[in-house]
């Protein structure tokens, strides 16, 4: 007996905690009644007087919770607009100690979904405390996160019980922010879960036979699990989950595809589990449950997400990707107990690196465009040459080029959504791939295998992996963990000089960044690799020599496995013709950046204004799918109505700054040529410089911009409209302070203008708030004054406008900028006075102040009101007002304004009412796309 007890002791003592739960689901009221026993072990040398619990079901209780604020930050209004009975919560009935005495508890002030329980007796090192909890859970609607109560009566339950936080010398508790990152110590579960017997029950724990209660309505299932870090429950009236028995484990999933036969699905699942077992070792549990919700939370991003009729991949391959991605995620998350909020990068790196190895093993020649490669047109794009695994570098570099990348060690809740979902895990995997080339595949594979096997079902961290990797090589890896992992430092090397000297080539390299990371230099003959030399990191410049052999050019990072910031400066010919190291390439439509070519793109364009009609033309430009510092475009167009040549041109250079709140400086020049009247054209050109500022919090949308420009305008004489000032130049300084948001939004800007005949200053402020009762309120203020004005005798072209600015700086997208009647005169640009009614004093040549308000009446119907004071020279200031109905189809993009009452009186009963209606219409594709991309950046 003693020997048996000794042999079984390690098995029973691995888990730090034990949780026993008796739960009953009330389907109609969407409630869970729970009695829970927690056995919390103090594995540290500290004495504890309190224990903290994560009560994430309660994170849904308030729109002001951290979860609610997170939804708002992500421009998701579903939670804010939901009724109270759709949001979840928990109600604690009692918390008792091991002597059945009541324990004092409280919710933390800054984290209502974290509970602090004060112990009556201190918990000493090595001791275990028994705590009994009795509480009710109101299950939230599943539309918020995918988990909760579904409209059809089914349930997806995650984070449905109260879990003790991890203590390892520091308490690791934090609020739910819909990041799927609860941190639990290895825990043994014993659960009795009761539910209506017409439901099918799906869960990853070991189940015993379900017993039907005496009333023959409820079924109770008993669950057991050891060394677990969570347990998710799916309840279905008609179950879509399928069970696949493989050689390694049982897989339960509802990820299915009607176009893939079941036998093929089973083969794919077996293939994937076999690969994961080979790469990561045996899965320590009998059953792996993966769901379509798991995949939706963390899909494979790319062309595989296109609808079936557009997808370039076979249906069974798309299914395989879904199973692979979700299986890897669950395989690692269920077995590696790493703090997923503060130290997630190593787990994400292992997941994505394992997926890359799978693709290399089974699909080594697969391109990112899939079967599109069969078509001649697709093969004309450099994108068609990109291998499937190269997209990981590309998508990380997308954020680096936008100056939005974040260190891999950034807390998970501080990541921009694109970095959280895509870029950081891809960077981590790219870093492992980089190391595998620098060290060897064997070293990286062994280090991952050793790390996984030694730390499976234990609390661990990336520091453990650091130690394991360093133990396998004599090379210094500080550059990887300090520069690549723990900073935003980029990699960028270029050639200073390449010179052939006898039978060798002298190469002088330059490091353009502050990092010192190793880089490979290739000797090439055409596209053939002749030699490869690894150069250790250096500070500024370094000379190396390579054998000349038959080398005609040298290339830095030719294969692209080093995630280098700029590969366009990596090519140098030994004997360049006329100093040209890279050939020019002209292509129709935008393409992926090809660093070995000087790319020029052409794209058909079409625009419209009332005077030129439809304008068709072509744009010549150099912008690729990745941002670059220098961009230019030349866009000639032809007006089909005016029969005139129009168009625009411009260039800009952006200098990104990594470490300061001033994160970018952009300067350049733009110009345009178009019609402003039926018989007259205008030309503009404007040099500019913009300074862009942001806060230290990258997730914050708060930005500040200071733009200095000089707008030069040349207008033809017109017989249709009065043109007393055909040519002019305006020096402009504009400051913008913007803090947008879906619940609270506030921005303001100032404008200073200086011209030969006038100078003016104005300020505009906008505030928008969505209240807890889902009513919206908008408030806008404008105030502007002339510092001097010598243009009064020439009309109101430069005056402040009450309802329709003249746009003498040609900033606004007017479709008929000189129209005084007709449909295009009713287009509303919400600038300057911001009025919607056309009043008898439309301009002010001294000063103008106005306030514009709007509030919700019902759904997308709002009421608006404007008031203002307008002052003209030699006349008293006038007080003006208007009001009406605002119909919001897409806010700020498609709106209709119906005037009701104004300084003109009751407008509804006046003649030609249809001509008083105003509208906002935005047809610019780039502007519309920002509606969908804003939550990602």
pLDDT surpasses 50 at 4:
no
Summarize pLDDT for 345-361 with one digit per residue, the tens: 999 999 999 999 999 99
Question: Mean of the pLDDT values across residues 758-782?
Answer: 94
What pLDDT is attached to residue 15? 67
Q: Within 13 Å and on the Cβ side, how many CA atoms surround 549?
A: 15
Could you give the percent of the chain with pLDDT greater than 70?
A: 98
Summarize pLDDT for 735-745 with one digit per residue, the tens: 999 999 888 99
What pLDDT is attached to residue 916? 95
Tell me the pLDDT band of 577, cut-offs 50, 70 and 90. confident
What pLDDT is attached to residue 425? 97
Q: What is the DSSP string of 800-825?
A: EESSS---TT--S--SSTT-SSSGGG
Distance (Å, whole) CA 240 – CA 801? 62
What pLDDT is attached to residue 11? 34
Distance (Å, whole) CA 306 – CA 304? 6
For the chain, the average pLDDT equals 93
Angle between helices 345-362 and 441-455 in degrees, nearest 10? 130
Summarize pLDDT for 384-401 with one digit per residue, the tens: 999 999 999 999 999 999
The sheet with strand 571-573 has its strands ordered as 528-535, 519-525, 553-556, 571-573
Summarize pLDDT for 651-680 with one digit per residue, the tens: 999 999 988 899 999 999 999 999 999 999
pLDDT surpasses 60 at 578:
yes
Distance (Å, whole) CA 935 – CA 35? 40
What pLDDT is attached to residue 303? 76
Query: Could you give the C-alpha distances from 372 to 376, 431, 626, in angstroms and in order?
Result: 9, 29, 21
What pLDDT is attached to residue 928? 66
Tell me the pLDDT band of 532, cut-offs 50, 70 and 90. very high
CA 848 distance to own-chain centroid = 41
Give the residue carrying structure tokens 């080093």: 562
**What three-state secondary structure class fits 588?**
strand
CA angle centred on 840, ends 839 and 844, rounded to 5°: 90
Query: Could you give the C-alpha distances from 728 to 19, 758, 788, 814, in angstroms and in order?
Result: 78, 11, 16, 20
- Higher model confidence: residue 10 or residue 295? 295
Summarize pLDDT for 454-490 with one digit per residue, the tens: 999 999 999 999 999 999 999 999 999 999 999 999 9
What pLDDT is attached to residue 772? 80
Distance (Å, whole) CA 833 – CA 513? 48
pLDDT surpasses 60 at 142:
yes
Return all residues near 659 (Cβ < 8 A) that are at least 6 apart. Answer: none
Could you give the percent of the chain with pLDDT greater than 90?
A: 86
What pLDDT is attached to residue 216? 77
pLDDT surpasses 70 at 7:
no
Tell me the pLDDT band of 12, cut-offs 50, 70 and 90. very low
Distance (Å, whole) CA 88 – CA 710? 56
Q: Within 13 Å and on the Cβ side, how many CA atoms surround 358?
A: 26
What pLDDT is attached to residue 725? 80
pLDDT surpasses 60 at 550:
yes
pLDDT surpasses 50 at 3:
no
Distance (Å, whole) CA 638 – CA 357? 52
- 134: its two tokens: 């009795």
What pLDDT is attached to residue 369? 93
pLDDT surpasses 90 at 769:
yes
Residue 782 near residue 834 (C-beta atoms within 8 A) = yes
Summarize pLDDT for 30-85 with one digit per residue, the tens: 999 999 999 999 999 999 999 999 999 999 999 999 999 999 999 898 999 898 88
Of 750, 726, 725, nearest to 736 by C-alpha is 750
What pLDDT is attached to residue 733? 98
């Amino acid at each position: 007996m003693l020997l048996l007890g000794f042999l079984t002791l390690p098995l029973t003592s691995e888990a730090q905690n034990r949780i026993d739960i008796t739960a009953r689901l009330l389907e109609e009221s969407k409630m869970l009644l729970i009695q829970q026993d927690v056995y919390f072990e103090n594995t540290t040398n500290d004495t504890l007087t309190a224990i903290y619990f994560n009560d994430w079901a309660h994170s849904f209780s308030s729109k002001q919770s951290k979860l609610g604020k997170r939804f708002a930050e992500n421009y998701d209004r579903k939670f804010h607009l939901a009724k109270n009975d759709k949001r979840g919560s928990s109600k604690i009935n009692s918390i008792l100690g091991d002597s059945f005495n009541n324990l004092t508890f409280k919710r933390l002030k800054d984290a209502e979904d974290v509970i602090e329980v004060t112990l009556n007796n201190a918990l000493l090192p090595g001791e275990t405390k028994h705590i009994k909890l009795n509480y009710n859970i109101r299950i939230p609607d599943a539309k918020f996160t995918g988990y909760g109560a579904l409209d059809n009566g089914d349930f997806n339950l995650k984070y449905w019980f109260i879990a003790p936080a991890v203590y390892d010398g520091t308490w690791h508790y934090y609020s739910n922010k819909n990041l799927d990152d609860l941190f639990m110590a290895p825990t043994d579960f014993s659960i009795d879960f009761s539910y209506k017997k017409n439901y099918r029950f799906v869960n990853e724990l070991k189940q015993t036979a379900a017993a039907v209660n005496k009333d023959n309505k409820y079924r109770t299932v008993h669950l057991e699990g050891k060394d677990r870090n969570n347990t998710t429950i799916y309840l279905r009236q008609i179950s879509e989950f399928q069970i696949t028995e493989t050689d390694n484990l049982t897989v339960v999933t509802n990820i299915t595809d009607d176009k893939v036969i079941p036998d093929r699905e089973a083969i794919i699942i077996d293939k994937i589990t076999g690969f994961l077992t080979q790469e990561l070792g045996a899965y320590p549990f009998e059953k792996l449950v993966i769901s379509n919700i798991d995949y939706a939370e963390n899909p494979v991003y790319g062309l595989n997400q296109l609808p079936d009729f557009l997808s370039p991949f076979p249906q069974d391959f798309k299914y395989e990707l879904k199973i692979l991605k979700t299986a890897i995620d669950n395989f690692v998350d269920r077995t590696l107990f790493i703090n997923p909020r503060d130290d997630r990068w190593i787990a994400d790196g292992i997941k994505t690196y394992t997926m890359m190895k799978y693709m290399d093993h089974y699909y080594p020649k697969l391109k990112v465009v899939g079967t599109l490669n069969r078509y001649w047109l697709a093969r004309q794009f450099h994108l068609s040459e990109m291998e499937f695994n190269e997209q990981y570098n590309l998508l990380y570099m997308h954020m680096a080029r936008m100056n939005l990348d974040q260190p891999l060690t950034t807390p998970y809740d501080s990541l921009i959504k694109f970095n959280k979902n895509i870029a950081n895990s891809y960077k981590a995997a790219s870093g492992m791939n980089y190391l595998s080339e620098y060290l060897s595949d064997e070293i990286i594979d062994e280090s991952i295998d050793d790390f996984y096997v030694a730390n499976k079902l234990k609390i661990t961290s990336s520091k453990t992996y650091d130690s394991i990797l360093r133990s396998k090589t004599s090379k210094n890896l500080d550059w990887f963990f300090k520069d690549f992992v723990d900073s935003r430092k980029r990699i960028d090397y270029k050639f200073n000089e390449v010179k052939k000297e006898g039978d060798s080539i002298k190469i002088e390299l330059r490091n353009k960044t502050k990092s010192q990371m190793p880089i490979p230099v290739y000797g090439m003959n055409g596209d053939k690799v002749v030699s490869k030399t690894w150069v250790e990191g250096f500070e500024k410049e370094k000379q190396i020599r390579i054998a000349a052999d038959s080398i005609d050019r040298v290339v830095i990072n030719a294969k692209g496995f080093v995630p280098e910031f700029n590969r366009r400066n990596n090519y140098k010919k030994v004997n360049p013709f006329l100093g040209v190291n890279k050939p020019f390439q002209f292509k129709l439509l935008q393409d992926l950046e090809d660093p070995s070519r000087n790319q020029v793109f052409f794209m058909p364009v079409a625009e419209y204004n009332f005077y030129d009609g439809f304008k068709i033309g072509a744009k010549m430009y150099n912008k690729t799918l990745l941002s670059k510092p220098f961009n230019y475009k030349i866009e000639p167009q032809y007006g089909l109505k005016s029969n005139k040549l129009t168009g625009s041109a411009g260039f800009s250079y952006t200098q990104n700054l990594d470490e300061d709140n001033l994160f970018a400086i952009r300067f350049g020049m733009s110009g345009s040529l178009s019609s402003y009247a039926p018989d007259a054209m205008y030309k503009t050109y404007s040099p500019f410089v913009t300074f862009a500022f942001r806060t230290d919090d990258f997730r914050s949308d708060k930005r500040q911009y200071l733009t200095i420009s000089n707008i030069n305008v040349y207008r033809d004489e017109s017989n249709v409209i009065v043109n007393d000032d055909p040519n002019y130049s305006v020096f402009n300084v504009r400051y913008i302070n913007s803090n947008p948001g879906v619940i609270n939004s506030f921005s303001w800007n100032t404008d200073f203008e200086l011209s030969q005949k006038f100078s003016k200053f104005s300020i505009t402020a906008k505030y928008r708030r969505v209240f807890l009762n889902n009513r919206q309120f908008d408030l806008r203020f404008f105030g502007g004054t002339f510092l001097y004005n010598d243009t009064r005798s020439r009309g109101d072209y430069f005056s402040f406008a009450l309802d329709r600015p003249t746009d003498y700086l040609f900033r606004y997208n007017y479709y008929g900028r000189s129209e005084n009647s007709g449909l295009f005169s009713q287009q509303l640009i919400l600038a300057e006075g911001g009025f919607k009614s056309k009043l008898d004093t439309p301009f002010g040549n001294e000063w103008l102040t106005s306030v514009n308000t709007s509030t919700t009446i019902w759904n997308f119907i709002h009421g608006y009101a404007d008031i203002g004071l307008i002052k003209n020279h030699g006349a008293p200031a006038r007080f003006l007002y208007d009001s009406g109905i605002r119909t919001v189809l897409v806010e700020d993009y498609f709106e209709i304004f119906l005037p009701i009452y104004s300084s003109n009186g009751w407008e509804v009963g006046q003649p030609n009412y249809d001509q008083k209606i105003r509208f906002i219409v935005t047809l610019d594709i780039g502007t519309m796309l920002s509606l969908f991309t804003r939550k990602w950046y």
